[in-house]
Amino acid sequence: MRIKRLHFLLLFGIVFLLWNFITYYTIVTKPKGADKERELTERLMSLEREMGKQLAENKKLLESLKLLKDIKDKKVYRSGEYLGTKDGVLPILMIACDRVTVNRALDQLLKYRPSAAKFPIIVSQDCGHAPTAEVIQKYVVSHNITHLKQPDLREIVLGTPQKKFLGYYKIARHYKWALNQIFVTFNYSAVIIVEDDLDISPDFFEYFSATYPILQQDPLLWCVSAWNDNGKDGMVSEEADLLYRTDFFPGLGWMIEKKIWMELSTKWPETFWDDWMRHPEQRKGRECIRPEICRTSTFGKKGVSKGLYFDKHLKFIKLNSEFVPFTKMDLSYLSKAKYDEMFIKKVYSSPLLTGQQVKSGEQPQDKVVRVEYNGKDSFKKLAKLLGIMDDFKAGVPRAAYRGVVSFMLNGRRVFLAPPPGWTGYDTTWS
């Protein structure tokens, strides 16, 4: 049925083009009186301009229909060349709304993208904001990106306590629709999700290319993220190739597989989707990969959080500036068994100092040190002292792995860690 519908649409497009041509020819050949020659000439010029616009729109329609057919056939074509099945394709899904500065994010994706075939760009726009749509459409024409528009723009009716969170409800609704487009309509196997206010590093695509096979093979991983919540300048090392496992879902430039979405989509929340993903019922003990130095940073001060979080934290995040050839590196150390053995040994063999000793720079000869916390209040007090994020989501500190948060302070590695023998997170910590 869908193929028949596609054929019908193609036929419709051809008929529409012929109709435009006949209309144009009829007007051009119509006899003209001398007194109306100038007026008719002006009308013809105006019609010619409109016809040009219409022809461009029809061309885009035909290209979109062809792309849909290629997607349906699980094939990708560019310039008539068959480039293989979609299994090797990692689409970029950009979530957009009403930021006309979406061009900045798109320009960077296009600048660093190594292959249009492997990394097709799909922009899903909510809000129905015409100026933003116009910006995106320019890239549809010039770079053959796909522009989707979230169709359900109805207002969400909320009670008085929830009204202030309306924006978060709309975001959750948009994410669900957009991810269904990626995994159900387009039938992709995985996706890299970004938002319209993110800068990316030169090795953004290289990072996800290298970690995708690990995500596929490890059942204890459920995402790869470009983000380090404690990635402020001065709190990360210069080891741009350093990657971690983390129990915390970071977001802000992240990759998941279709099987995870099919699991989550059946119970997707009405609001605060990212915090919901951090609940044990969704995470199920699974982990993500994250970098030492962020591969994304945000320039979007405007948003549902009103810019408060941006001014206090986000604008200080360091974005990686060098290209790391991850696909040529041995990343087997990220496998669960190897990583846990290495990580636990490194953390608990490091010298134990107090938070104040670390803050004051005592024992500078020790380049890797540990600070121990004992409970929720102890963690929050030490985190504030040492300058890292002090909040929890379902009991998990930001960027933590096995309760340990790793960061740099005064030029040395610090592990803020629970006592040896950690047994799990306390979900009552918040």
Active-site residues, by number, are 274
| Position 278, amino acid | R
Positive or negative, the CA dihedral 178, 181, 186, 190 is positive
Tokens of 255: 């990759």
- For residues 283, 285, 288 and 293, what is the CA-based torsion angle, rounded to 10 degrees? 110
Query: Residue 285 class from Cβ within 10 Å (0-12 exposed, 13-18 middle, 19+ buried)?
Result: exposed
Q: Are 215 and 257 in contact (CB under 8 A)?
A: yes
In angstroms, rounded to a whole number, what is the distance separating the alpha carbons of residues 212 and 214?
Answer: 5
In angstroms, rounded to a whole number, what is the distance separating the alpha carbons of residues 314 and 307?
Answer: 9
3-state secondary structure (DSSP) of residue 3: helix
- With a CB cutoff of 8 Å and minimum separation 6, the contacts of 366 are 350, 351, 353, 412
Tokens of 354: 């107090």
In angstroms, rounded to a whole number, what is the distance separating the alpha carbons of residues 34 and 115?
Answer: 57
In angstroms, rounded to a whole number, what is the distance separating the alpha carbons of residues 191 and 89?
Answer: 9
| Position 390, amino acid | D
Closest by CA to 249, choosing from 415, 399, 422, is: 399
DSSP element (H, E) containing 103? helix 102-112
Give how far Cα 126 sits from Cα of 148, 254, 256, 332, Å.
9, 20, 21, 40
In angstroms, rounded to a whole number, what is the distance separating the alpha carbons of residues 198 and 226?
Answer: 11
